[in-house]
Structure 1
Amino acid sequence: MSEEREQIRKAQAGDSHALAILLQSHYSMVVRYLIKVTMEPHIAEDIAQDTMMKAMEKIKLYNGQSSFSSWLMTIATRLYIDMLRRKKREKLWLDQEAALRKIKWHMARQGEDWPEVLDAVHSLPYEYRIPIILKHYYGYAYDEIARMMSIPAGTVKSRVFHGLKTLRKELNADEE
């Protein structure tokens, strides 16, 4: 049995010293990989540390079907992709919030009203927000909205229904 396999076996049995040796022997490889992927050494270090933590938590799930280094690289890759997705969602949210502030300022400058309900509508996912606005602010029929969005009319009805249900909950929660 190879030395690495023996370390893995011991680590899976709860030997923290064996786990520390195993992770330490792969740490620099994971960091170098992540530096190449992220192009940002401090982010690479953070993800590498998260990778080692995840490996510590999940060591018993390692099944030996791939090399231990491949298992670690898979963990690191998934953590990096999750971070990118989170950053993308955060940027989208920040962009939407900035756009909302700009619209409110523009409306106020022109002396137009911005009802509280529009804030609540803005918090809905676009899948619900678009049909609700088209139906209740502009008076389009479900069939027209369906054509505009290239989805079935039944889906439009469902999205309006569920979106309004969510809005009612949110607006009633604000009143309490």
Structure 2
Amino acid sequence: MKHADFNVLYEEHAEQVYKFLLRLCGDSHLAEDLLQDTFLKAMQNVDSFDNRCKFTTWLCQIAKNTYYDTWRKKKNHPIEELPEELDSGHSFEEQVINRQSAQEIRKLIHRLPEPYKEVFLLRHYGELSFREIGEIFEKSEVWGRVTYLRGKEMLRMTLSGKE
């Protein structure tokens, strides 16, 4: 594959893979580094892509593996930094409450056991279909749907205090 061709693929898929990585790791700088590592690995192994799944699905699989390799090497696993700017459309108190709620939900998502956490992130933030999620895990579309719904139910139960 020519370098120019890969640049086109990068332009088409980088944003979706970045969003997936950002939700997976919760750190924008780390997500950017992981995105670069993901595309470097993809470029080096593009011959192994066999068209059994979408290119984005294949990239998310590489991104997931790259994230876990990095995660295993680090001792500190940040959840996610709060946005720096305040939304001027709401009172300061509302914004603080909304931020705290969003941060707590992110923490709960990151506390889900695997594979529920990863499937939830792929579906909700990576915007992948259940078929694509199943392909990443080498499982069926039904497995992706059931695993997502179970993870969602775990979150619901935790949020309602019925753990």
Normalised to the residue count of structure 2, the TM-score between the two structures is 0.45
RCO greater where, 1 or 2, for CA within 8 Å and sep 6 or more? 2
Normalised to the residue count of structure 1, the TM-score between the two structures is 0.41
Q: Which has the higher helix share?
A: 1
